[in-house]
């Protein structure tokens, strides 16, 4: 079987076996059907060409698979890629009439939005606008998620090419890291509040594994079902102060720590090996925790930080 055929076969299987779906996607001539991540049946008769995405990762991924020209608006936090930053911005905590007035044929959300603002979404649906909810809770669901975006926009071929390149790069990093003998023990801080870490199924945990790190908080259970955040706490961190070789700080809305000075000021943290040896990496949550193709950048940054002799920063 050729490489392209193999990719297609794999991705179709992933779509059909995604654990979130109550039933298998089916194709009837030119139509494609699946169940979205809110449990809503979706039938695609023809690609959507006026899309508003209320989650920045959706917007970014649509541009990545060649569907950027169909995006007419994004969430207020969407700034990447540069053309997306110029689009009209919308906020699901505001008035849905602003979206309805733009006459989109598709609004993309994630389950959190429907749970937290159900009336907002209901008003959009009452206007006859298709709403599709998607969110991959783990790396295992990433391919299926991307392919659903591709099917909604008619960009299957481009998406398959992007996914093939993505997995080729991940595999290369994994293989290179496998040869490293002296593995770095890592603590990943997702939020400064209560010094939380990440759950076992999260993207950062996967990145640590691929980059050849040893996650000292491996196996931690999420705070709630579907969450990537897991409890840990300063007490456990300080108990392991002498063995934490690298301290990774996720920067974003939930974690404002930016400098070594911020870390040293925390009570007791000056004794942590990684902080004593200036082995702290501040990394943007958009490239380490967001389900986009830029996740490769996050893995690469992490690998280069942990093992600069094996992964030069400009590689």
Return the HEC string of the chain: CCHHHHHHHHHHHHHHHCCCCCCCCEEECCEEEEECCCCCEEEECCCCCCEEECCHHHHHHHHHCCCHHHEEEEECCCCCCHHHHCCCEECCCCCCHHHHHCCCCEEEECHHHHHHCHHHHHHHHHCCCEEEECCCCCHHHHHHHHHHHHHHHCCHHHHHHHHHHHHHHHHHHHHHHHCCCCCCEEEEECECHHHEEECCCCHHHHHHHHCCCEECCCCCCCCCCCCCEECCCHHHHHHCCCCCCEEEEEEECCECCCCHHHHHCCCCHHHCHHHHCCCEEEEEHHHHCCCCCCHHHHHHHHHHHHCCCCCCCCC
Identify whether 126 is part of a domain: yes
Number of domains the chain is built from:
2
Identify whether 167 is part of a domain: no
- 133 and 221 both lie in a single domain: no
- 198 and 250 both lie in a single domain: yes
- 247 and 274 both lie in a single domain: yes
Identify whether 103 is part of a domain: yes
CB-facing half-sphere around the CA of 166: CA atoms within 13 A: 21
- 72 and 200 both lie in a single domain: no
Domain of 88 in residue numbering reads as: 3-160
pLDDT at 30: 56
Whether omega for the bond prior to residue 162 falls within 30 degrees of 0, making it cis, is: no
> What is the rounded (10 degree) CA torsion for 179, 180, 181, 187?
-140
- 249 and 209 both lie in a single domain: yes
What residues contact 20, with CB distance under 8 A and at least 6 apart?
35, 37, 137, 141
pLDDT at 253: 78
- 135 and 263 both lie in a single domain: no
Identify whether 268 is part of a domain: yes
Distance CA 133, CA 55 (A): 10
- 91 and 214 both lie in a single domain: no
- Answer for the pair 311, 282: CB distance below 8 angstroms, yes or no: no
Identify whether 106 is part of a domain: yes
* Residue 84: C-alpha distances to residues 72, 101, 165, 185 (Å): 9, 19, 23, 38
What's the order of all strands across the beta sheet hosting 41-44?
26-28, 31-35, 41-44
Q: Which of 100, 133, 160 is the last residue of a domain?
A: 160
Question: Tell me, what CATH number does 149's domain have?
Answer: 3.40.50.1980
- 235 and 124 both lie in a single domain: no
- 149 and 212 both lie in a single domain: no
Identify whether 16 is part of a domain: yes
**Phi/psi of residue 91, each to 5°?**
-135, 120
Instruction: Enumerate the β-bridge partners of residue 34.
Output: 42
pLDDT at 22: 35
pLDDT at 14: 40
Q: Which of 112, 133, 160 is the last residue of a domain?
A: 160
- pLDDT tens digits, the chain, 315 residues: what are they? 443 444 333 343 344 334 443 344 454 545 788 999 999 999 999 999 999 999 999 999 999 999 999 999 999 999 999 999 999 999 999 999 999 999 999 999 999 999 999 999 999 999 999 999 999 989 999 999 999 999 999 999 999 999 999 999 999 999 999 999 999 999 999 998 899 999 999 999 999 999 999 999 998 999 888 789 999 999 999 999 999 999 999 998 777 667 888 899 999 999 999 999 999 999 999 999 999 999 999 999 999 999 999 887 654
Q: Which of 102, 132, 160 is the last residue of a domain?
A: 160
- 85 and 198 both lie in a single domain: no
- 10 and 150 both lie in a single domain: yes
Distance CA 305, CA 200 (A): 21
pLDDT at 81: 96
Quick one: tokens of 41? Answer: 């049946």
Identify whether 173 is part of a domain: no
pLDDT at 313: 61
Identify whether 169 is part of a domain: no
pLDDT at 192: 86
- 134 and 204 both lie in a single domain: no
């Amino acid at each position: 079987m050729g490489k392209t055929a193999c990719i297609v076969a794999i991705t179709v299987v992933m779509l059909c076996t995604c654990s979130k779906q109550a039933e298998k996607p089916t194709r009837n001539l030119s139509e494609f059907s699946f169940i979205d991540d809110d449990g809503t049946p979706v039938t695609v008769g023809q690609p959507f060409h006026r899309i508003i995405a209320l989650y920045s990762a959706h917007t970014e991924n649509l541009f990545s698979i060649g569907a950027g020209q169909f995006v007419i608006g994004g969430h207020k936090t969407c700034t990447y890629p540069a053309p997306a930053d110029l689009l009209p911005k919308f906020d699901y905590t505001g008035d849905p009439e602003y979206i309805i007035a733009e006459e989109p044929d598709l609004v993309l959300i994630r389950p959190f939005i429907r749970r937290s603002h159900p009336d907002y979404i209901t008003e959009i649906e009452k206007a006859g606008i298709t709403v599709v909810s998607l969110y991959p809770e783990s790396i295992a669901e990433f391919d299926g998620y991307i392919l659903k975006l591709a099917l909604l926009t008619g960009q299957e071929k481009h998406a398959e090419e992007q996914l093939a390149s993505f997995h080729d790069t991940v595999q290369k990093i994994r293989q290179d890291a496998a040869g490293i003998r002296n593995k770095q023990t890592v603590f990943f801080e997702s939020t400064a509040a209560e010094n939380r870490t990440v759950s076992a199924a999260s993207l950062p945990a996967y990145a640590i594994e691929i980059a050849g790190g040893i996650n000292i908080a491996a196996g931690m259970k999420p705070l709630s079902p579907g969450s990537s955040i897991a409890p840990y706490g300063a007490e456990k961190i300080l108990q392991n102060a002498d063995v934490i070789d690298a301290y990774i700080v996720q920067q974003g809305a939930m974690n404002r720590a930016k400098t070594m000075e911020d870390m040293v000021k925390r009570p007791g943290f000056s004794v942590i090996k990684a902080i004593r040896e200036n082995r702290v990496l501040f990394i943007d949550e958009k490239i380490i925790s967001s389900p986009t193709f830029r996740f490769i950048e996050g893995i690469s940054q992490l690998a280069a930080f942990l093992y600069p002799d094996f992964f030069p920063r400009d590689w």
